[in-house]
Structure 1
């Protein structure tokens, strides 16, 4: 596991599925709390530390996509969505709401555990790297603190970002002025985990644009390069590591 005894919150309305997941994860060195709907989830997140959230899409009352969006607005807790739907568009919706990964039903519990491990490893590796480097990247008044893993706008307000969004924006800022293919961005940010899609990069870019671009529909910071990928255009200044400037590296 990425850490000893991670605390996992499983939100699933089907009792049999919920019990099966909880039992399997507990047998594999996880602390597990369960909930059957959004209200129970909210109470559990208040009462317990949650290292990762497993969230079913189809829930009674408020659905999983809406709950995912609410969690992501205030927290960077990793989220894995479970869905009975197999269409890519439904999976992409989960990513757009801020999920870190998804798994269509029916699934093998071993695959779920593998995805939990992968998400937690990525988070731990990113946090370790940020603590060691301690760098601050700035562009057009925006400030990325790699140690604290936070983004602040030109007015100094903190902008909520998922772990995946932060990693992708940092990757762009460390390589300004370079055309980066979707394949290379997947390798740099997700390590080619099972189930990674090039489309997931497009979703993340769209979410980042909505947070930093003056006009997300006419992006000037993260430009799309036809048949190439994306390019981060602003000049980037760095402290704590070798200076990064447009066209460098």
Structure 2
């Protein structure tokens, strides 16, 4: 599986109302070839997101003038650029909903700046690698399922959807390995840039979204994504 190892200078949009944390993260990231723009309200964040002149957005879900989930939903309707969300520790419902709405990854507060930097670079590398080589067909096919690696559009029968970056990468590795079980760790490293932790349900959330968006549950189409407990996932024709 091809992976990108180089991450270029990044334009980062950080939306968080914790002024001290935001300033600390900017001071930590900028020496690492990042340009960090700060927003502290939902309104400011919405205005800056609409400009689409950043490489990755870091979004806190608790903002003083609105819910960050609403901002994430609005953003995903018009852009595929990566988003990492911040959630309060233990807020599993918000994490799952954020992933379903299109966040590429999440961090529970409190977190270390070092972990944020690693997650951010992994997301950026995945976003870059999603683009096909010059002159190559952008379409990946597995049976009746087609995935455009350039646009993130997936087509399966009558189902058609533009996927988030993480969803696209999960589907890509399953399509390239169609008929073979792909271990959760392998999918996680390819799609999320890390192996899923024991109680991390983010990978399962992305798979559920793919099943729903593309009818890959074996009910309306023979093609489905199966979960083999303790092993991983596979894309297979239902019997």
Picking from 208, 212, 215, the partner of 1:213 is 215
Picking from 2, 7, 14, the partner of 1:2 is 7
Q: Distance in 2 between matches of 1:152 and 1:223?
A: 15
**1:134 to partner: Cα distance:** 3.1
- Uncovered stretches (5+) of structure 1, i.e. residues with no partner: 236-249
Q: Does 1:134 align with 2:137?
A: yes
In angstroms, what is the RMSD of aligned CA positions? 3.1
* 2:172 paired residue number: 170
| TM-score with structure 2 setting the length | 0.80
Picking from 21, 24, 49, the partner of 1:45 is 49
* 1:108 paired residue number: 112
Q: Distance in 2 between matches of 1:191 and 1:22?
A: 22
* 2:100 paired residue number: 96
CA separation of 1:166 and 1:41: change in aligned 2, threshold 3 A: same
* 2:72 paired residue number: 68
* 2:3 paired residue number: none
Deviations 1:100-148 (A, max 9, x none): 1111222222222222112112222333xx2265352345654322344
Picking from 16, 21, 25, the partner of 1:21 is 25
- Uncovered stretches (5+) of structure 2, i.e. residues with no partner: 1-5
| TM-score with structure 1 setting the length | 0.77
**Structure whose residues are more often strand by fraction:** 2
CA separation of 1:84 and 1:200: change in aligned 2, threshold 3 A: closer
Q: Distance in 1 between matches of 2:228 and 2:122?
A: 31
Q: Distance in 2 between matches of 1:226 and 1:46?
A: 41
